[in-house]
Amino acid sequence: MLPLGRRKWHCVASGFVVAILLALGAAIMLERVSEFPINLHRKNGLAFRDKSSFKISIFADLHYGENAWDAWGPVQDVNSSRVMDFVLDVEKPDFVIFLGDVITANNLATANATLYWDKAIASTAKRSIPWASVLGNHDDAAFEWPVDWFGPAGIPGFCSDSELPSSSLYFSGTTRAELMNHEVQQRLSISLNGPEVLWPSISNFVIQISSSKKGGGAVTLLYFLDSGGGTYAEVISAHQATWFQQVAIDNNPDGRTPEIVFWHIPSQAFDSVSPTPNGPISSPCFGTINLETVASQVGEWGIMNILKNRPSVKAVIVGHNHGLDWCCPYEKLWLCFARHTGYGGYGTWTRGARQLELTEDPFQIRTWILLENGTKTSARILYPRSKEMATSNIKTPSGTLA
């Protein structure tokens, strides 16, 4: 919805044996599917185009739609689009990840926040780049009434001459399910609504990146988990952890395929490895801004224990904290913040976007951050791990040394 005038805002073996084995396999799969439906390879999936790299740009915390009734709100959205246009033109990624807080729903007095969602994905969509999204804590947050609306001319008399029928108006927000239903209908989105047994935690799904070689299979698996917030608790539940474990075993039983995990709100493990806020980012951590305390999930219900015991998982990448962009080792995997991409949301640190570049043969994960001023920072090979990381003495919650 286009910003309305302030007045209107107020009112919103043998063939036989093989056949039996196949049938048995199918039955087992169906049983699995009935427990946790798994949708891999939606649409065309992703694949290396040739033997070169596969590049991913991560857009975190865009926060579209803030204060549409003030001049600065829409300007922020224009600036956020400019940042993404720049990143996409420089990096030319194969895939984009929207890492949550795409919109600031608590500022959206509109019946349909997907119109702001569309603004946020437009730069990617118009370049015909596929993408996927996870939900953050602001995407479905309840509307917060600005105090300054309650002046002499304010609510409720303000609505008396509105052209809009009050029944169509606002303030009820767009639910997590509605946002993801809209997202999955986009031609180039390969996001999925996760299994309903996990709802209201919705953005739980897995995407395979396949080899460029014919019949080459999976090169990497990308897992997306909904870390809640907004109308739901800020958690990755035990049920989600179980779902992850099952999906990971089903799709990567021997753990040969490297895996990368994405969600919005850092888990408490990020706290445990964090450099001292406002202090230096010392090796083996690396990054450029460390200007606030980790705002982690409210509890730890098993996902980190599963991840740290799964050697195929190479990194967990989150957003949420706009003043952090470091990566630190946690046991054998990396915990990384993305980089605040949007002009919406708190903080005035130079906007940018974390990049991931995967190579197929030999498999490698490289990362860096491209800032809107053209600077590339924090370049590092995440996998294979450097000797420095492998021998570092990082204290973990379990007290073991990585």
Question: Residue numbers of the site for Zn ion (CB under 5 A)?
Answer: 61, 101, 345
In the complex, least distance from residue 345 CB atom to Zn ion, rounded to whole angstroms: 4
Residue 221: alpha-carbon gap to chain centroid: 15
Which residues are CB-contacts of 253 (< 8 A; sequence separation ≥ 6)? Answer: none
Query: In angstroms, rounded to a whole number, what is the distance separating the alpha carbons of residues 341 and 331?
Result: 28
What does the block give as tokens for 91? 């990096």
In the complex, least distance from residue 61 CB atom to Zn ion, rounded to whole angstroms: 4
- Closest to Zn ion by CB, 61 or 183: 61
What single DSSP character describes residue 382? E
- Closest to Zn ion by CB, 61 or 300: 61
- Give Rg (Cα) of the chain: 22
**Residue 367 contacts residue 354 (beta carbons within 8 Å):** yes
Residue whose structure tokens are 């995440």: 382
- Closest to Zn ion by CB, 57 or 321: 321
In the complex, least distance from residue 162 CB atom to Zn ion, rounded to whole angstroms: 32
In the complex, least distance from residue 130 CB atom to Zn ion, rounded to whole angstroms: 23
**Residue 327 contacts residue 380 (beta carbons within 8 Å):** yes
Query: In angstroms, rounded to a whole number, what is the distance separating the alpha carbons of residues 83 and 63?
Result: 13
In the complex, least distance from residue 379 CB atom to Zn ion, rounded to whole angstroms: 25
**Residue 317 contacts residue 261 (beta carbons within 8 Å):** yes
- Closest to Zn ion by CB, 228 or 345: 345
In the complex, least distance from residue 60 CB atom to Zn ion, rounded to whole angstroms: 7
- Closest to Zn ion by CB, 308 or 320: 320
- Closest to Zn ion by CB, 60 or 333: 60
What single DSSP character describes residue 272? H
Pick from 12, 10, 64, 63: nearest CA to 173? 12
Residue whose structure tokens are 């605040």: 340
- Closest to Zn ion by CB, 61 or 226: 61
Determine whether 301 is exposed, middle or buried from the number of CB atoms within 10 Å of its CB (0-12, 13-18, 19+): middle
In the complex, least distance from residue 322 CB atom to Zn ion, rounded to whole angstroms: 6
